[in-house]
Structure 1
């Protein structure tokens, strides 16, 4: 996957046994060309310390094999929350994920864009500026970048459609270390009809027009259990949901997404469904 115009296809991998020992074994088993990992409990605030030997092995393997590595920050993070405690935990958690990402050589750290919950959207956006801008300024020259992931539109989410990213990035002065992670299930559920003729291209062109094509750094390739505009975040295996397999082929052809890694976050408690999803995406890419 050394060529910049080829989309690496991979998965979020389990890391039981260690980031390298467990994560790379699973990646090899399913044929992943890129990996995304958690570096702490995704549903808690505890900040796990890394194991130096595992960190070093993962970084060296990624460098040797040109393997794109990404970190997904915990799900509880919400800088738009009215709760001071949640804000404090969120700041600490993002900082920890960025620091751990730097150690393992990750290209980006994915973070959900958050919700206003019970307060006015304007207040939530002021908080985004106050707390996210300093974190972006702290990122060292070698990265990783912070990748903002819009949600499916449920509740009072601050970003759902790709055009929602415009005001969000404006709040942090369009910081150069702020990139975008686009989740296909989220986008579909938020109202981007990826199944319509030209639907994928329309979404990608809207993204480029809103934030610039160069900000798209990662795609979460997930089918959707629910229809377009449902505002429900329920992933399905590639080709088994409401999006279907065919629209994913466009991500390999469109200039905005060409060369951007895709990782699946699809259902399955064993390697087999994930291997099948990756094989489907590779057929669409290489066919």
Structure 2
């Protein structure tokens, strides 16, 4: 099967049920050139060890893709006011970084977390402390930690580029820290990606507070709820509030043309039909145009 090649690696989050290499099979079956996985059960603290044979098989098969990243589990909360929760989160983060490194992932996408009733500045300090400890403990590793912007639900951190930038600053801009931008989250947080002005505000924020060299991956999801709703609800590409025009404008922005894109859109059970449709829509809206920016990914090797 000939896969569609473009300047931007495009793919989907895939299940690792049956072993991590199965996710690559799923990705190739929908003509993806990029992949995101959970390295373990994302809703449990404990998980069985990753066998080296499984990691080696995944790395060997992943050369068929242009980009691979992992997503950290949802239980991790480095911003928690509960010290035992922060300690447990750090242990889980270190395990996930080890897995992502052994699997050859470019980055581990991580939600900054929530300080609950404490001020955001206190939460940012806690996140930075946890990240610094994780980076020190994994010195010599290549895998990055990519902080993901959030929809702003509850007291979660990271709904603005300023907050992500503040976390980076508190970690002295460590070179292994990166950022992942989720379009549905950005829209829910108030960046109106339906308009040129809204997209410009997002791009300006990335440049000012993050830096283009740190933008490793995009989560390309349409939004089910209105702009500024702070609701984390994803929709199929072009069928949500952002719409096709919004995605066309974003996908053809020169600054973003080569940034890998991952969909986390709804799935109908075990069927991958929606992934096929969503990826085809993104390719069509991308227009097949070429751009040239510093974030162009390099070809993967074993």
The alignment partner of 2:256 has SS state of coil
The count of aligned residue pairs is 284
Runs of 4+ in 1 over 4 A off after TM superposition: none
For residue 277 of structure 2, what is the aligned residue in structure 1?
276
Given that 1:139 and 1:145 are in contact with CA atoms closer than 8 Å, whether structure 2 keeps it comes out as: no
Aligned to 2:243, the other structure's residue is in SS state: coil
2:112 corresponds in structure 1 to: 113
TM-score when scaled to structure 1? 0.93
Indicate if the aligned counterparts of 1:216 and 1:257 stay in contact, CA closer than 8 A. Answer: no
Deviation at 1:7, TM superposition (A): 1.1
Mapping for residues 1-287 of structure 1, pairs under 5 Å: 6-20=7-21, 22-62=22-62, 64-141=63-140, 143-268=142-267, 269=269, 270-287=271-288
Partner of 2:294: none
- Between the aligned partners of 1:264 and 1:146, the Cα distance in structure 2 is 19
Cα distance in 2 between the residues matched to 1:9 and 1:245: 17
The answer as to whether partners of 1:146 and 1:179 remain within 8 angstroms in 2 is yes
Instruction: Say if 1:71 and 1:106, in contact at 8 Å, map to a contact too.
Output: yes
Q: Could you tell me how far 1:119 is from its partner in structure 2?
A: 2.0
C-alpha contact (below 8 Å) 2:35/2:65 kept by paired residues: no
1:53 and 1:251, CA in 2 relative to 1: closer, same or farther beyond 3 A? farther
Q: SS of the counterpart of 1:98? A: helix
Structure 2, unmatched stretches of 5+, are 289-302
Deviations 1:119-175 (A, max 9, x none): 233332221232211212344545110000121011112210222212121111111
Q: What secondary structure sits across from 1:57 in the alignment?
A: helix
C-alpha displacement of 1:198 = 3.9
| Contact 2:32/2:65 (<8 A) preserved | no
Cα distance change on mapping 1:257 and 1:142 into 2, 3 Å: farther
- Distance in 1 (CA, whole Å) between partners of 2:139 and 2:90 is 17
CA distance in 2, matches of 1:120, 1:161: 15
**In structure 2, what is the Cα distance between the partners aligned to 1:141 and 1:282?**
36
Deviations 1:187-244 (A, max 9, x none): 0000000001242233122211111111110100000110100000000111111111
Deviation at 1:48, TM superposition (A): 3.1
SS at match of 1:134: helix
| SS of equivalent to 1:180 | strand
Task: Tell me how far 1:47 sits from its aligned partner.
Answer: 3.2
**Cα-Cα RMSD:** 1.9
Structure 1 residue 66, shift from structure 2 partner: 4.5
Aligned pair in 2 of structure 1 residues 205, 93: CA closer, same or farther (>3 Å)? same
Distance in 1 separating the partners of 2:85 and 2:8 = 36
Structure 1 residue 11, shift from structure 2 partner: 0.3
Whether the 8 Å CA contact 1:149–1:180 is kept in 2: the answer is: yes
Mapped to 2, the partners of 1:121 and 1:80 lie a distance apart of 9
